[in-house]
């Protein structure tokens, strides 16, 4: 299987991620609210503790203190290649494609998000046009108007990733894709941003979501 087929497989996984994003968000909220997710050890004695729930502990001196575990509003994804922050309401899904390509997908319930593919023996900058064609072919076939332009994304670490952006429009909504790449020594990263816009208040939610994902995005390779 060549690298283009592997990317095509990855795109199939991205579509699946979009379709099941709402269910994943709901499940993640249930997990966060399930009882006794953690144990707090005080003087080697365990106390069951869940996020957002307080317990009272009586010290040896008789003082009663309140202990509560709170989650941050954001989570941090980190591996050997990249790090970025995301809302705690979503999770990063990591899979390994054929050819040892690592893929990370983060989507919100509205179908916007990012896809990252990490290549250990190939420069993915060569795949930018192919990726855009694969992502947009269904909308184009359905009559959406496609407009391409060059784009850049500046990361928190100062790296500037270059690529292309595609906007697909019909009468009711528009979908935009940004595909940029970082090239190393016979390796690299392909970063895809997906934003769905329909003129509703959700547009602001999606835009802020993508801004959060990219504002602290770093390549640490």
- Segment 11-28 shows an average pLDDT of 47
Whether 104 contacts 80, CB under 8 Å: no
Task: Report which of residues 59 and 149 the model is more confident about.
Answer: 149
Show contacts of 34-37: CB within 8 Å, 24+ apart.
Answer: none
Q: How many domains does the chain divide into? A: 2
Same domain, 53 and 139: no
- Segment 134-162 shows an average pLDDT of 95
- Segment 61-70 shows an average pLDDT of 90
> CA 176 → CA 9, 120, 155, distances in Å?
21, 28, 19
Show Cβ contacts of residue 121 under 8 Å, excluding neighbours closer than 6 positions: 186, 187
Q: Residue 126 above 90 pLDDT?
A: yes
User: Which of 12-16, 61-65, 151-155, 158-162 has the lowest average pLDDT?
Assistant: 12-16
Same domain, 43 and 93: no
Model confidence, pTM: 0.76
Print the domain residue range for 40: 35-68
């Amino acid at each position: 299987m060549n690298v283009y087929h592997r990317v095509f497989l990855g795109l199939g996984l991205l579509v699946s991620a979009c379709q099941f994003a709402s269910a994943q968000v709901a499940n993640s909220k249930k997990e966060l609210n399930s009882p006794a997710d953690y144990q707090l050890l005080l003087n080697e004695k365990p106390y069951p503790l869940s996020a957002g729930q307080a317990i009272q502990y009586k010290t040896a001196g008789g003082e009663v203190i309140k202990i509560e575990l709170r989650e941050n509003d954001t989570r941090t994804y980190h591996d050997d290649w990249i790090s970025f922050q995301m809302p705690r309401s979503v999770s990063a899904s990591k899979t390994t494609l054929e050819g040892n390509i690592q893929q990370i997908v983060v989507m919100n319930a509205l179908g916007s998000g990012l896809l990252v593919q990490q290549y250990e023996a190939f420069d993915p900058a060569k795949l930018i046009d192919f990726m855009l064609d694969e992502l947009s072919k269904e909308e184009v076939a359905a009559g959406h108007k496609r407009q391409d332009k060059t784009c850049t994304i500046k990361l928190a670490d100062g790296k500037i990733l270059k690529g292309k952006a595609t906007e697909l429009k019909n009468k009711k909504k528009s979908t935009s894709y940004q595909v940029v790449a970082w090239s190393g020594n016979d390796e690299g990263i392909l970063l895809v941003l997906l934003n769905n816009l329909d003129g509703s208040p959700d547009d602001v939610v999606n835009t802020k979501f993508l801004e959060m994902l990219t504002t602290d995005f770093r390549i640490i390779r």
